[in-house]
């Protein structure tokens, strides 16, 4: 009887896990999510709940006074961060990340006072904590750009097939916006909306390049602009560009494989000083305490940090090849 209960419990657990797996698969089905997103965009439901403003406005923060402050500050870094925020297609405006950066700086500075009596170390910890939102924006932008470059060959093939079938260029853009997920579908939908609102083809395509800083996308835009001015078979041009991009992907993968050893060596060399320092601190604290208490030790740590950062930059440039 006990064995029968164990078998029944085992079967029930297996069925429960299988049911949860199937429910999760249905819920996270990419095809289903894509169709639901298309239906939501085609329906007029969102427009009935709020007023529509067709004038493009620059909003860096939902806080009015902070938004005016950011718009009036003539600092190139602010505009570069705003461009990165647009390219990353983040949910929140730039002001949210700037305020979060300031909050993390203060939190890191105050937290460092609990274990670091030196002002310079508190500032370094605060700056490192404050840079986390900026690094997040940069990482999201690079990830989205990589996804765009991976989708671009298929996008160009679909656009070329659409032109061969007799559709107009805007018809091909509409098909891309419906069939592809973010970022290709989102960005080409914005381009199509700009064209429908009366913006010239060239300006709409240039805005696309401004939103996605991709060399492959620039090649596509330049080809389309030249073809509209001088004529030619645009479908054949797009197919050649797609073939070229795929060849670049193959070459980039080969270079990444050949440079794997150098990148691994760079990671080991970067983490080795921290590993040895923490190991010595736990094994023999009095041996390391002199470096932390003596002013000359502080200067040595600062110089070592500068040299480490310089070495990281040099190793990244040596192991990172542009194709």
Mind listing the pLDDT tens digit for each residue in 171-183?
A: 999 999 888 888 8
What are the two backbone dihedrals, phi and then psi, of residue 198, each rounded to the nearest 5 degrees?
110, 0
Q: How many residues make up the chain in this entry?
A: 323
* Selected residue with higher pLDDT from 27 and 97: 97
What counts of helices (H) and strands (E) characterise the chain?
15, 0
Query: How confident is the prediction for the chain on average, in pLDDT?
Result: 81
Q: Checking phi first, is residue 72 left (phi over 0); if not, alpha (psi -120 to 50) or beta?
A: alpha
Interatomic CA distance for residues 310 and 138, integer angstroms = 20
- Tell me the pTM: 0.71
* Selected residue with higher pLDDT from 134 and 259: 134
- Across the range 210-225, mean pLDDT stands at 89
pLDDT the model gives residue 9? 67
Sequence-separated (6 or more) residues with CB below 8 Å from residue 226: none
Interatomic CA distance for residues 16 and 22, integer angstroms = 10
Helix (H, G, I), strand (E, B) or coil at 322: coil
pLDDT the model gives residue 50? 43
pLDDT digits (tens, 9 = 90+) for 119-134: 877 888 888 899 999 9
Q: Are 95 and 61 in contact (CB under 8 A)?
A: yes
Backbone CA torsion sign across 152, 156, 161, 162: positive
- Across the range 17-37, mean pLDDT stands at 61
Which run of H or of E encompasses 261? helix 260-283
**Residue in this structure with the two tokens 């602009």, named with its chain if needed:** 225
pLDDT the model gives residue 27? 56
Sequence-separated (6 or more) residues with CB below 8 Å from residue 153: 242, 245, 246, 249
Q: What does the domain layout of the chain look like in residue ranges?
A: 64-130, 146-255, 259-319
Which one is the CATH code of 146-255: 1.20.1260.10, 2.102.10.10, 3.90.1150.10, 1.20.81.30?
Answer: 1.20.81.30
Helix (H, G, I), strand (E, B) or coil at 131: coil
* Selected residue with higher pLDDT from 258 and 188: 188
**For residue 92, how many other CB atoms are within 10 A of its CB?**
11
167 has pLDDT over 70 = yes
Interatomic CA distance for residues 192 and 211, integer angstroms = 14
pLDDT the model gives residue 45? 41
């Amino acid at each position: 009887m006990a064995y029968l209960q164990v078998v029944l419990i085992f079967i029930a657990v297996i069925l429960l896990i299988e049911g949860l797996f199937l429910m999760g698969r249905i819920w996270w089905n990419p095809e289903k999510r894509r169709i639901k997103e298309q239906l939501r965009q085609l329906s007029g439901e969102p427009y009935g709940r709020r007023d529509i403003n067709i004038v493009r406005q620059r909003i860096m923060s939902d806080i009015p006074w902070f938004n005016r402050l950011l718009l009036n500050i003539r600092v190139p870094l602010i505009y570069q961060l705003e461009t990165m925020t647009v390219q990353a297609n983040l949910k929140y405006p730039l002001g949210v990340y700037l305020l979060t950066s300031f909050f993390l700086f203060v939190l890191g500075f105050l937290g460092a006072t609990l274990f670091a009596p030196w002002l310079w170390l508190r500032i370094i910890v605060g700056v490192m904590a404050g840079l986390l939102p900026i690094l997040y924006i940069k990482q999201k932008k690079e990830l989205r750009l990589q996804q765009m470059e991976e989708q671009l060959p298929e996008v160009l093939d679909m656009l070329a097939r659409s032109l061969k079938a007799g559709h107009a260029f805007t018809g091909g853009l509409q098909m891309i916006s419906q069939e592809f997920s973010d970022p290709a579908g989102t960005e080409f939908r914005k381009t199509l909306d700009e064209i429908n609102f009366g913006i010239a083809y060239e300006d709409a395509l240039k805005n696309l390049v401004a939103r996605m800083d991709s060399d492959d996308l620039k090649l596509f835009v330049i080809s389309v602009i030249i073809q509209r001015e001088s004529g030619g078979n645009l479908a054949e041009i797009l197919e050649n560009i797609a073939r070229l991009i795929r060849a670049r992907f193959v070459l980039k993968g080969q270079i990444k494989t050949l440079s794997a050893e150098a990148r691994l060596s760079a990671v080991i060399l970067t983490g080795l000083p921290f590993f040895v320092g923490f190991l010595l601190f736990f094994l023999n604290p009095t041996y390391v305490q002199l470096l932390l208490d003596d002013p000359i030790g502080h200067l040595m740590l600062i110089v070592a940090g500068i040299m480490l950062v310089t070495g990281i930059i040099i190793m990244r440039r040596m192991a990172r090849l542009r194709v």
